[in-house]
Every structure is written in C-alpha cells, then in structure tokens.
C-alpha cells in the first residue's frame, strides 16, 4: 500500500503523518510543495472536497505574515486559489491520498484513525 503525501518536509504535522503511515507499513510518495509547487488541478479537487476554510491554514506564520489585502484574496475561490499557489505554506498540511481517500491535516493513521 502506498500513500501520496503533499506538504513541506520540515512541517511537524507532515513528519507525524509520515511516521504514522510508516508505522502502518505504508509506502510514502512525497510531494514537496517547496520544490515541486502545488499541482493546480489537485488544488481544485482539495478545495471542492474540503472547502476553502479547511484548506487554508489561517493559524500558521505565513498566513499571519500576509497583510489584510493579501488575506482578503482568500474570500473568493479564484483569489484563494491564486494565493494558495503563490504561498503553498498556507495550505493546511498534510494532504494525504491513501486508498483513494483524501485527508487534510490528519497526522494519525493508526488502526481506527484512518
């Protein structure tokens, strides 16, 4: 079994999710937002699946560092997508695809939690 994990390698939540998946003997395919960018087509899917409020991490330092004008772009789907593509660090992490199921922000993949 293989999971596709999207995120940033030094993110604590991403590290926890990968460790949990490995504990379950799941192979990892990692997509680094910093090196490979955010796949725009997948971003559309994530937004459709979870909604903007769940995809945007409004608690992180990157979000808090944006001025009000930039944060205001997140009020519309088009503006939010552009903002997420420009600042991938504001995407809630990790995004995990496992067995055809998407999750966002989940770090525990032990039995009963996946």
pLDDT single digits (tens) 4-39: 999 999 999 999 999 999 999 999 999 999 999 999
Q: How far apart are CA 78 and CA 34, in angstroms?
A: 22
Answering whether pTM is above 0.85, one says yes
Q: In this structure, is residue 112 part of a structural domain?
A: no
User: Which of 1, 7, 8, 11 is labelled catalytic?
Assistant: 11
pLDDT of residue 114: 57
- Please state the domain count of the chain: 1
Q: In this structure, is residue 110 part of a structural domain?
A: no
Peptide bond into 34 cis (omega under 30): no
Q: In this structure, is residue 113 part of a structural domain?
A: no
Structural domain boundaries, residue 21: 2-104
pLDDT of residue 111: 76
pLDDT of residue 112: 65
- Summarised one tens digit per residue, pLDDT across range 47-102 is 999 999 999 999 999 999 999 999 999 998 899 999 999 999 999 999 999 999 99
Whether 11 is catalytic: yes
Nearest Cα residue to 103 out of 14, 26, 34, 11: 14
Query: 3-state class of 2 per DSSP?
Result: strand
CATH of residue 41's domain is 3.40.30.10
- Summarised one tens digit per residue, pLDDT across range 93-111 is 999 999 999 999 999 998 7
Q: In this structure, is residue 83 part of a structural domain?
A: yes
Nearest Cα residue to 6 out of 106, 111, 110: 106
Q: In this structure, is residue 67 part of a structural domain?
A: yes
Nearest Cα residue to 46 out of 109, 4, 103, 86: 103
């Amino acid at each position: 079994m293989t999971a596709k994990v999207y995120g940033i390698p030094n993110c604590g939540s991403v590290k926890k999710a990968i460790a949990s998946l490995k504990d379950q003997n799941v192979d990892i395919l990692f997509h680094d937002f910093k090196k490979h960018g955010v796949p725009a087509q997948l971003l559309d899917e994530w937004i459709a699946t979870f909604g903007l409020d769940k995809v945007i991490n409004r608690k992180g330092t990157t979000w808090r560092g944006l001025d009000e004008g930039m944060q205001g772009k997140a009020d519309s789907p088009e503006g939010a997508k552009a903002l997420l593509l420009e600042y991938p660090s504001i995407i809630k992490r990790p995004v995990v695809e496992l067995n055809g199921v998407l999750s966002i922000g989940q770090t525990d993949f032990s039995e009963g939690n996946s």
